[in-house]
Amino acid sequence: MALMTLAFSLALTAQTDTDGKKITLHVKGISVEALFKEINRQTGQNFIYNVKDILPLKAVDVDATDEPVASVLEKALSPQGVSFKFTEGSVIVKKAAIYPVSGRVTDMQTGEPLLGTSVFDRNTGIGVTTDLSGNYHINVAEGSVLVFSYLGYVSVERKITGSRTGLDIALVPTENVLTEVVATGIYTRPKESFTGSSQTYTVKELKTIGNQNVLQSLKTLDPAFAIVENNQYGSDPNRLPDVNVRGKTSVIGLQQEYDTDPNQPLFILDGFESTLAVISELNMDRVESITVLKDAAATAIYGSKAANGVIVVETKAPEAGRLRVSYSGNASVSFADLTDYNLMNAAEKLEFERLVGNYDLIEYNEHLAEIRRGVDTYWLSEPLRTALSHRHNLYVEGGDDKMRYGAGLSYGLTEGVMKGSDKDAVNGNVRLIYRNKRFLFQNYLTVDYSTADREKVAFSQFSRAIPYYRKMDENGDVQPILFNYNGYTTVYNPLYDMGLNSFSTTNGFGFNNNFETEWRATDDFRIRGRFSVALSTSRNKTFQSPYATMFYTTVETERGSYSETYSGNSRYEGDAGLTYGKLFREKHRVNAVTGMRIQRTYSNPTGYTVYGFIDDNYTSPTFSNGFVQGSKPRYSSSDVRSASYYLNSGYAFDNRYLVDFNYRYDGASVFGASRQWTTTWAVGLGWNLHNESFLRYQTAVSLLKLRASVGNPGNQNFDAYISMNIYGYTTTYPNLFGRTALITSWGNPDLKWQKTLDKNIGADIELFDRRIRLSLDYFVKDTDPLLVYVSAPASTGSTIAPMNIGRQVTEGLTGTLNVAILKQENMAWNVSLNARHFASEYRNIGNLLDEYNQAGLGVNLQRFYDGGSPDDLWAVRSAGIDPATGQELFISKDGEYTFTHSYADEVKVGNSMPDIEGVIGTSFYWRGVTASVNMRYRLGGQLFQSTLYEKVENISGGRLAYNQDKRALYDRWKEPGDKAKFKGISVTQTTPISSRFVADENTLAGESVSLGYEAQSPRWLQNMGAQAFTLRGYMNDIFRLSTVKEERGLDYPFARSVSFSLGLRF
Amino acid sequence: MALVITACNSWLKVEPDDRIVSENLYKDKAGYMTALNGVYEELNELTEFRIRTLDRMAQYYGSAAFDYNYYNGSSSSDYENTCKLRTNWDKSYSLIAGCNEIIRQCDGESGIVLNGGYYEMIKGEALALRALLHFDLLRLYGPVWSEKDAESIPYMTRADRKTQPLLTGSAAADSVIADLRAAADLLEKVDPVIGEGKRDFSDGLGKNDWNYRQYRLNYFAVQVLLARAYLWTGNTSQAGIVARDVINRASAFFPFVTSQYMLTTPDRMFSPEVLFSLYNLSRTSLIYNKHFAFSVWNVLTAYGPNSTGRISYMYDNLNDYRQKMWIDAPNYEHSSTVSHLIKYQDETTNGAEAYRYMIPLIRMSEAYLIAAECETDVQKAIDSYINPLRFARNSPNLSATTRTELMNHIKAEYTREFVGEGQLFFYFKRLELATVPKADAANSTMNMPAGGYVVPLPDNEQQIRGL
């Protein structure tokens, strides 16, 4: 601000006093005195000066075209410590005095000295750096402005009018100071000296997006983190999201033979491994920050588990002080998003059947009569509701220097938009921290209990139901059968099943205790030990009423079922490590973290299913007829152990050149007996250009950092016993010779572990006092070899075998740009944009996966060819429907038109991965009020439209008993000359998949809109005894515009929601 | 550090408690026996294919019950599944892979625990099982012997389960013979069956490693299998030598049933003569009730009633014990009377444990029939091998002067003897008969089409091999 005022006043002076006098001069190495003469020659301006002051001055270069005199003088004189002043008729030139200035720079909050703060003259760019104690000493000319600048803090400027000692400056950290530290879960490092690609988000940022789930918010904020939309199960609160960081590394979809999703990132909660389920259910109010570790240098400390990226979640630690109570409450209203459904009404459906020609006249007339009576049932609304969810969190914290405590209790009820689906969860947690000069002890205990219920009938049952049927008969009773088509197809009433006493309930209980102790042996050297125990159980009870329509064709004694699944899980994890960090000779910073970690995870799912119930009032298994012949209780167990040694070392020279080296030696039971250990490494390099002398003493560029890294993180998310032959005991045919065992799972002892070579180049840039922030990353992930389950000839003993085949190379670019358009104390306006682009390619596969290509013909559009991408869509090109015949015209590989569909003509017709996807957002702040809007865009991807394929084009036989998309009636070919998009309406043969069903998909979705108010101790708050107050309203997924109309959320619709959160601190 | 890593190594070795890793199973004799017993146990899974599909292919059953029959040209496109062909192939090769793992372990480091004859017995039986399984697949999928150079099946001998090429019919048969000879050599050294016979008693605490040799591929069973294989390759001299050897050495332990025995015992297995069989406690529910019980849908029955139908032509006299296994009963629609096979009907009389759980695979009578076929002297064949068998079946002596007559007698005896055991089709195929009995007629024949004896490899196998 000072700068602006100065410049402004200067310009003003020049205007009035020199009457806008301008000169044009191009000369090099002109002496100051000669310059004055030249100006005098051109403008008649007089100069008054002392020759002694002028003679020692250096010659200057002038490059002025029609430039005001004041400006030319400013450039020539100010850097040389000479001032000038316009007076009546002449300019007085005088040498400025040089004053010594000294003082100390500290952190405003902690009072700690800030080592390495830049202190420099804004005009000359000449400056110094503070020493270890934060002290500085500089000589500056009178009237110059000193800038105190340190990364992560708001810069301060002081005008110097005389000599000063003790010009102490306390710098205030910038708002999100947390982003300046990278917490990897094993060690923390200042972001400036970290060479990996990572991004940290505070809970405040997350809560600006939404209040429901940390992962949903993270998806909006970070372009590298994605949640794959689940078209089948939409916004079902009881389904876990499919998440990935920087796309997928493995071939999946070949065979889902894995125990766990091999593309899932590793989750770390407070330093220990966690699960997707725990993180996605984590109460947001407990979270302090989330860090996404992306490249090898950032993730390598997690070694063989890190190939898919790491998500590190840190929960809030209590703050010292008097006892404080805070409350936060969240409430939300959700409703189903049915805009993508385009179903026929009763009359349309019947007309469609007539045109198809496959109908029975008597039935047709019956239905017609019903329609004339006004029957047009809207089935979709039946299973849906407006869902109300709420969550409360109460937190108590306090303590003193030595002892701090925090205890929290939270309760949440999440309702799904389908009737009967909900989840409630209770969590209690206590954290105690004791710290003295050398020691730290910390214990964190959490207990969770949850209950989840599933809806009784899938949404698709309702979307299929035909509107010319009534929900109820004339007596108001819901009948199980809507219609019986001549005895060959029975149409059941989904409403009937929904009214039965079927249920599926899951109870979960979890106990988690983390203990940590740390000994600070010296200032530079620490020893830390941590231990975590997690125990959890989950019990599912599912009852299907014997009256359910699914049992109508079952023998009477087996109608109705009850199944129970119980799973007990435990996890122990221990970690011991040494941390060393020291600065030598003020320039050489060395950091090292080394340690050992062991982990054991045991789970033991068991279960059984019994059949045959008399009615659905008595649902206990004792009322069943027992097991169906030949069935047995289920039992399995898995014990996964791992042990590892890790080393992270970093060296920074003068905070300019950074080197990081990571090494991890991992042993795991899943690697198999022959190869228990594997090593992973990563090297990272960084260059802080903003600390170079040529960029150091200025304010335009506060951060300019280049990063590069390479490493080979591995993937452990595979079946535990993949490399070994496993015998299972058999009991079907007991004989006279005792126990029998057979090989139940064939191992491949030659299997190589799937590893990914991960290369990354990135840049972090902050300009103009952090008004512009840009972060860019480019990466190449080379997974070689891939681990693939391939078909084997049955003569080898099994039809499927794990093998190492080929490579997959994924390239990607991600970027985030933040621009502060307005930045004032009480008002701020920010615009942000993030984007990602990923592309993958298979290599060296050859024809080994040809069997999958064959099996996929007519079923899906995924093919496996060298050079092809996992996201490519393959199909025969279509030239559309021939207007003359209503038949589809195909384009062969050679570009010829043909009526014959041949799979040999398949070509790549699209790619389901968008060219670019990201979020564009803006936020506005004014006196405690924040408004923000974030919208997701997807451009340039293609989509196979299964709705068009299944509910418009291919409706034959049995499918006629379901309701269909309107386009089946309106857009199909009816008579010669019709320019239709879909084949003849009466054609019932199945059309093969062609490019006709692949369309460009561009979408824009309102992911988050929020409006919040935050108040720090205004009077009305103090009256009620509160210190701080926040209130925020959200609308999530509120709209979605797409270039294709495709049914989404088939078995469970997507939800839109409006929610509120309230926070109070006493 | 090294110490810690070593300690970690053992900590990282995890044994799942419902399963067992190969290395840990083969720690002691009991582990080896458990794995070997697993193969025997699982052979039961192949029974349904053998008694249903194979015997329908042999044209025993032509009933009102509608079932796909490979040669009757059913329209079922999914015959691989309906006929259990796929199951038979997959399961057979999976058991072969199991045998290969046992054999590898026998000769591997842990094999040293196999002292006291266990090595010879376990490896010998595993080799024999491997040969048995391959031989049945060869006889089904392989060419007829006159086209023995045509492709047949892969012969799997490696524990690493690498895909192996399809061998010619003769190469595969050579492998079968080699395995059987190796097995016989090993077993001959240790098998108590040679000196003591079946040993069909229990040693008390269930340790029956050397007992119940009838339920194991014992030395004599292996020898008959070897004779069967030689005969398949047309090597009648070797087949004859081996068959006669078995008759000489084993008859004392596996004697033909006597009329006295048959009077008192409803033993339709002729269990004293059975050289190798499976033990199946669920024989009644899984075999009889599903395939032979009266009025069951899909029941296997012979055409017409006993008096005038197929059975009246199949047997030449009503006293034949084997004829008595056929009972008149209404077909499942109750529209006519047909012959039902009660061979596998349950028996609960005292001592029935000896045969009520038995599913015979190799019997003494086959040695006699092989010996007869390999005997150049027709009269000697009739006197030494055909008529003793006839006598044991309560049937009058036969006579023959020409080889054709002899062969007709042998064919008739095969038909009578091995019903419900899946051997007759292979007999037809071995002799490449141009006409076979017609299933849905009392006494008629049908032509076997060219190539009709060769079942195409399962789709999966063909696809992956790019055939």
Supply the DSSP string of B124-146, one letter for each residue: HHHHHHHHHHHHHHHHHHSPPGG
Q: How crowded is residue B271: how many other Cβ atoms within 10 Å of its Cβ?
A: 22
Distance, CA of A191 to CA of A766 (rounded, Å): 13
pLDDT surpasses 70 at B315 = yes
CA dist A493 to A385, A480, A607, B449, Å?
Answer: 19, 5, 31, 53
Query: Chain A residues with CB inside 8 Å of B464's CB?
Result: 791-793, 851
R_g (Cα) of chain A, nearest Å? 35
* Model ipTM value: 0.89
Alpha carbons within 13 angstroms on the beta-carbon side of residue A309 total 25
B282 interfacial to chain A (CB closer than 8 Å) = yes
What residue of A is the nearest CA neighbor of B97? A797
Distance, CA of B401 to CA of B405 (rounded, Å): 7
SS3 A169: strand
Residue A199 one-letter amino acid = Q
B200 interfacial to chain A (CB closer than 8 Å) = no
What residue of B is the nearest CA neighbor of A643? B8
Distance, CA of B132 to CA of B121 (rounded, Å): 16
pLDDT digits (tens, 9 = 90+) for B48-107: 999 988 888 888 887 544 444 454 444 445 566 667 888 899 999 999 999 999 999 999
Closest CA to B370 of B419, B427, B287: B427
B142 interfacial to chain A (CB closer than 8 Å) = no
B467 interfacial to chain A (CB closer than 8 Å) = no
Strands A321-336 and A1055-1065: antiparallel
Query: Chain B residues with CB inside 8 Å of A851's CB?
Result: 463-464
For chains A and B, count residue pairs whose Cβ atoms are closer than 8 Å.
185
On the 0-12 / 13-18 / 19+ scale of CB atoms within 10 A, B115 is: exposed
B206 interfacial to chain A (CB closer than 8 Å) = yes
pLDDT digits (tens, 9 = 90+) for A499-550: 899 999 999 999 999 999 999 888 788 899 999 999 999 999 999 999 888 8
Write the DSSP string, A250-286. S--SS----SS-TTPPEEEETTEEE-HHHHHH--GGG
B164 interfacial to chain A (CB closer than 8 Å) = yes
Q: Which two tokens stand for residue A896?
A: 């010829």
pLDDT, residue A672, reads 57
- In degrees and rounded to multiples of 5, residue A303 shows phi and psi of 50, -120
Q: Which two tokens stand for residue B401?
A: 């002067």
- In degrees and rounded to multiples of 5, residue B321 shows phi and psi of -55, -30
Query: Chain A residues with CB inside 8 Å of B7's CB?
Result: none
Residues whose CB falls within 8 Å of the CB of residue A826, separated by 6 or more in sequence, listed in order = A926, A927
R_g (Cα) of chain B, nearest Å? 23
Per the DSSP assignment, residues forming a β-bridge with A808 are: A783, A842
pLDDT, residue A232, reads 77
Alpha carbons within 13 angstroms on the beta-carbon side of residue A134 total 19
- In degrees and rounded to multiples of 5, residue A357 shows phi and psi of 90, 0
Distance, CA of B448 to CA of B455 (rounded, Å): 13
Distance, CA of A1036 to CA of A334 (rounded, Å): 9
Residue contact A667–B8, C-beta within 8 A: yes
Write the DSSP string, B317-353. -TT-TTGGGEEEEE-TTSSSEEEEE-TT----STTTH
Query: Chain B residues with CB inside 8 Å of A716's CB?
Result: none
Distance, CA of B140 to CA of B57 (rounded, Å): 11
- In degrees and rounded to multiples of 5, residue A673 shows phi and psi of -65, -35
On the 0-12 / 13-18 / 19+ scale of CB atoms within 10 A, B195 is: exposed
A741 interfacial to chain B (CB closer than 8 Å) = yes
What residue of B is the nearest CA neighbor of A798? B94
What residue of B is the nearest CA neighbor of A741? B38
What residue of A is the nearest CA neighbor of B86? A794
Residue contact B215–A799, C-beta within 8 A: no
CB A628 within 8 A of CB A591: no
Residue A968 one-letter amino acid = A
Give A 347-376 residues with CB within 8 A of chain B. none
Residues whose CB falls within 8 Å of the CB of residue B457, separated by 6 or more in sequence, listed in order = B89, B141, B153, B465, B467
SS3 B190: helix
Distance, CA of B459 to CA of B270 (rounded, Å): 39
pTM listed for this prediction: 0.73
Residue A94 one-letter amino acid = K
- In degrees and rounded to multiples of 5, residue A815 shows phi and psi of -155, 150
Query: Chain A residues with CB inside 8 Å of B215's CB?
Result: 735-737
Give A 709-728 residues with CB within 8 A of chain B. 720-721, 724-728
Write the DSSP string, B4-28. HHHHHHHHH----SSEEEHHHHTTS
CA dist A957 to A354, A746, A967, A982, A984, Å?
Answer: 14, 42, 18, 18, 15
pLDDT digits (tens, 9 = 90+) for A972-990: 888 887 787 888 877 777 7
Give A 834-873 residues with CB within 8 A of chain B. 851, 854
Write the DSSP string, A475-541. TSPPPSEEEEETTTEEEE-HHHHHTS--EEEEEEEEEEEEEEEEEE-SSSEEEEEEEEEEEEEEEEE
The series of mean pLDDT values per 10 residues for chain A, 1066 residues long, is 35 44 84 84 82 78 84 78 76 79 84 80 77 84 81 79 83 62 80 84 84 84 84 78 76 44 81 84 84 86 81 86 86 86 87 80 85 89 89 89 89 90 91 88 93 89 87 84 68 88 92 92 87 93 90 78 92 91 82 90 89 86 79 79 88 88 82 68 89 76 89 66 77 85 80 78 86 91 78 80 80 91 84 90 78 72 80 86 83 86 85 89 87 90 83 75 84 81 78 84 88 77 75 85 80 85 82
- In degrees and rounded to multiples of 5, residue B101 shows phi and psi of -65, -40
Give A 669-708 residues with CB within 8 A of chain B. 669, 673, 676-677
Closest CA to B189 of B283, B273, B278, B125: B125
Query: Chain A residues with CB inside 8 Å of B212's CB?
Result: 736-737
Residue contact B154–A795, C-beta within 8 A: yes
Q: What is the DSSP letter of B151?
A: B
Q: How far is A735 from chain B (nearest CA, A)?
A: 6
B388 interfacial to chain A (CB closer than 8 Å) = no
